[in-house]
Amino acid sequence: MGLHEIEKQVKMKSAFQRKRVELMMEELKGMLNTVKELREKVEEFEKEYEDLIMELPEYQRKLDAIKAEVGLPTTEEFVIKKKKPGLLEKITGKGKFYEELSMKILDIATKAAKETGGIISLADLILRVNKIIRDISISPMDVVKALKKLEEAGLISGVRKLKSGVKIVEVYPVELTKDQNEILSLASKKGWITLENVMVETKWSRERAMRALKSLEEAGIAIYDPSYTKGSRWYFPGFVGEKKTK
């Protein structure tokens, strides 16, 4: 075999390998898209049937097995290794217990923020934390101390109090106008509000009230529901816990 033939075979082999790599890359991309779609379906399923799953440990175990297969965090991953804080930890809000708890709360709050436009009421967050971290009772004060650690570390924007007295956690920075804050305060009482409610409570014009509601809707903080039976309302997913605790 001459030198020319050898060079030709080497080039053909190299071109064949490159084509094979390209085809495998395309195949891997297709598999990634499938996994992403599967994860989204699992998350949708868990959200829709959350209450029923929480009541039945057998269902939770089966769901955790599926979540582990697709790379989603399972219930076991939210277990706190140190079951309770020591006296010094309780006083200072520092130590292993609060380090672990703050990381778990950050996971929960970040996931919730995708549904609530970046804010969530403290009451709702406490409910979610105790639903997911079920191996130990987490007190409201424990959650507040853990949130303080997250705020100091710059991992969340912080906790603030609305005019209504309701405390909200700003998971990531949300720049709100004075009008938007006013509506948040009104909506925090029931978790929803109507255009008429806003106009009566604030004495604003219809245009001003609608503009503020629409801006909250566009930010993902409010969800518009044009119901024929209950009348048009704006729901605020971040205030679900407030309704449950009243």
Using one digit for the tens of pLDDT, what is the confidence trace for 129-159? 888 877 677 899 999 999 999 999 888 999 9
- The label of the residue with tokens 């672990």 reads 100
Q: Which of 52, 78, 104 corresponds to the end of one domain?
A: 78
Q: Which of 171, 195, 223 corresponds to the end of one domain?
A: 171
Indicate whether 208 pLDDT > 80: yes
Amino acid at position 2, single letter: G
The percent of the chain in helix, strand and coil, each rounded to the nearest 5, is 65, 10, 25
Beta bridge partners of 167: 161
- Do 48 and 3 reside in the same domain of the chain? yes
Q: Is residue 246 part of a domain?
A: no
- Do 223 and 160 reside in the same domain of the chain? no
Q: Which helix (H) or strand (E) holds 52?
A: helix 50-55
Total number of domains constituting the chain: 3
**pLDDT (0 to 100) of residue 4:** 58
**pLDDT (0 to 100) of residue 1:** 55
Beta bridge partners of 231: 227
Q: Confidence class of residue 100 from pLDDT cuts 50, 70 and 90?
A: confident
**Which tens digit of pLDDT belongs to each residue from 157-190?**
999 999 999 999 999 888 889 999 999 999 998 9
Tell me the mean pLDDT in the region 225-231. 75
Q: What secondary structure letter does DSSP report for 238?
A: G
**Which tens digit of pLDDT belongs to each residue from 48-96?**
777 676 666 677 777 777 877 777 766 655 556 556 777 777 777 777 8
- Do 61 and 5 reside in the same domain of the chain? yes
> Is the distance from CB of 215 to CB of 207 less than 8 angstroms?
no
**Which tens digit of pLDDT belongs to each residue from 22-35?**
777 677 667 667 77
**pLDDT (0 to 100) of residue 242:** 55
**Residues 6+ positions from 221 with CB-CB distance below 8 Å:** 116, 117, 118, 119, 174, 180, 184, 236, 238
Q: Is 57 exposed, middle or buried (0-12, 13-18, 19+ CB in 10 A)?
A: exposed
Q: Is residue 83 part of a domain?
A: no
User: Residue 81 and residue 84: Cα distance in Å, rounded?
Assistant: 9
| Domain enclosing residue 186, as ranges | 175-241
Q: Which CATH number fits the domain that encloses residue 138?
A: 1.10.10.10
Q: Is residue 65 part of a domain?
A: yes
Q: Is residue 7 part of a domain?
A: yes
**pLDDT (0 to 100) of residue 244:** 46
**Residues 6+ positions from 47 with CB-CB distance below 8 Å:** none
Measuring CA to CA, which residue among 214, 220, 195, 193 is closest to residue 206?
A: 195
**pLDDT (0 to 100) of residue 245:** 43
> How would you list the strands of the sheet with 167-170, edge to edge?
119-121, 167-170, 158-161
**Which phi and psi angles does 168 have, rounded to 5°?**
-120, 150
Q: How many residues does the chain have?
A: 246
User: Residue 233 and residue 230: Cα distance in Å, rounded?
Assistant: 8
Q: Confidence class of residue 223 from pLDDT cuts 50, 70 and 90?
A: very high
- Do 10 and 30 reside in the same domain of the chain? yes
Beta bridge partners of 234: 193, 224
User: Residue 64 and residue 155: Cα distance in Å, rounded?
Assistant: 27
Tell me the mean pLDDT in the region 224-234. 81
